[in-house]
Amino acid sequence: MQYGNVSGAQQQRAMWLSTFAFTVCFAVWTIFSIIGIQIKQQLGLSDTQFGLLAATPILTGSLIRLMLGIWADQYGGRLVLTLVMLCGAVATWLLSYAHTYPQFLLAALFVGIAGGSFSVGVAYVSTWFPAGRQGTALGVFGAGNVGAAVTKLLAPMVMVAAGWSMVARVWAVGLAVAAVLFYLFAQDDPSLAERRRTGRKPMPFAEQMAPLKEIQVWRFSLYYFFVFGGFVALSLWLPRYLIGVYGLDVKTAGVIAACYSIPASLFRIVGGWLSDSVGARRVMYWTLGVGVICTFLLAYPDTQYIVKGIKGDIAFHLAMGVVTFTALAFVLGFFMSLGKAAVYKHIPVYFPSHVGSVGGVVGMIGGLGGFILPITFGVLNDWIGIWTSCFMLLFFVVAISLVWMHVAIRRMEHQRFPHIDNDRDFPEVMETSAGRRHG
């Protein structure tokens, strides 16, 4: 199979090498979800302080996504992704020398560089595939989120055996090795090779940033704030939540949290395929609709009721057991994974010449969700004192996203295409001209 002058084998190499690199980066990016538990005990941190520490790498990885996406468009994803991984590896190694809370926060800022790999990978992978296959390809790449599950499954064993600092050093070496392997076996993307051949200069910065005035970019960003930011936040928070609510040990909490992280990662491939097959908009309706239901159920607190009966008080207790919680978390993670792929399916269709900048902004907002939400979870715990307050907040975010999406789509369809009623008759590519104005 050929896409331009690119063979199918080259496409597969680019996709799978990028997925491997992103998986290792994501494992490093979420390292504090496990080592932060021991650091919290060591330093006697509050839930708010723990939430800030766990979320700090997410802040850096989010803020730099925009510039890294632009640099990937300008200088090529192979070079930029390799440099990101090497910088992340150095920062993760230096983390093992931190001793005080301010030192941990500073180190966490630099560890977060690894999270910037996403926007680089999106820009790199999308250049290898035609529009009809980009959803699937980006879905496979995005499945690198499974790195969070890798950390939850393996880091507790290393930490129990040798301490949190050994986790940092092992993860740093792994990231450095992955960087070298990626650079040696990956190829420069086709657009960079074409620019070198023709002598054409990269798109100016101002032109790359032009699409950011479109409201659609910010609507997509809100979706991603929930599906990705919520995923990252729960990946960081669930071990702490499970230990606090159900009294589990760190190994068991890590395994159960992985039951959320794995489907929220691997099924992103299915989300990409579905976005290519039935339409990304339809997948987003599924994602946000199920998200509303799951977060509502998960938000219900452990409650004791007393009903005044005819023959006296009737007391009963409503609480979610760990098995039910795990099942609902699995379902929520599954549909979040579909939504993550669906959001990024839109970008090359709406903004084919600005994937790096638009993808960088959407990724940045989603990543900021992964930074803001864990801190807010901790603040809500300290302020309200209800464990399920984290899911109350997520319910609020997903409900707003669903309402905005539905209102925007209905307005767009009736104003521009009043005779079209369904997703198959109204594919995303037809939305390009209408949606940017009304979406």
**Segment 20-56, tens digit of pLDDT:** 999 999 999 889 888 888 898 899 988 888 888 888 8
- Of the pLDDT bands very low, low, confident and very high (cuts 50, 70, 90), residue 200 is low
pLDDT at 231: 84
pLDDT of residue 367 exceeding 50, the answer is yes
Placement of tokens 């979610």 in the chain: 320
Q: By C-alpha distance, which of 21, 119, 111 is closest to 59?
A: 111
pLDDT tens track for 45-100: 888 888 888 888 888 888 888 788 888 877 888 899 999 999 999 999 999 999 89
Task: Enter the pTM of the model.
Answer: 0.71
Report the 3 state secondary structure along the chain. CEECCEEHHHHHHHHHHHHHHHHHHHHHHCCHHHHHHHHHHHHCCCHHHHHHHHHHHHHHHHHCHHHHHHHHHHHCHHHHHHHHHHHHHHHHHHHCCCCCHHHHHHHHHHHHHHHHHHHHHHHHHHCCCCHHHHHHHHHHHHHHHHHHHHHHHHHHHHHHHHCHHHHHHHHHHHHHHHHHHHHHHCCCCHHHHHHHHHCCCCCCHHHHHHHHHCHHHHHHHHHHHHHHHHHHHHHHHHHHHHHHHHCCCHHHHHHHHHHHHCHHHHCHHHHHHHHHHCCHHHHHHHHHHHHHHHHHHHHCCCEEEEEEECCEEEEEEECCCHHHHHHHHHHHHHHHHHHHHHHHHHHHHHCCCCHHHHHHHHHHHHHHHHHHHHHHHHHHHHHHCCCCHHHHHHHHHHHHHHHHHHHHHHHHHHHHCCCCCCCCCCCHHHHHHHHHHHC
pLDDT at 49: 87
pLDDT at 113: 92
pLDDT tens track for 148-158: 888 888 898 89
Domain spanning 8-191+207-438 has what CATH number?
Answer: 1.20.1250.20
pLDDT at 4: 54
| Section 341-348 average pLDDT | 82
pLDDT at 355: 67
pLDDT tens track for 373-400: 988 888 888 888 888 899 999 999 999 9
pLDDT tens track for 114-169: 988 988 988 888 888 887 777 778 888 888 878 888 888 889 889 988 989 999 99
- Of the pLDDT bands very low, low, confident and very high (cuts 50, 70, 90), residue 287 is very high
pLDDT of residue 219 exceeding 80, the answer is yes
- Taking CA atoms, 382 is separated from 46, 49, 232, 299, 331, in Å, by 8, 10, 21, 17, 28
pLDDT of residue 439 exceeding 70, the answer is no
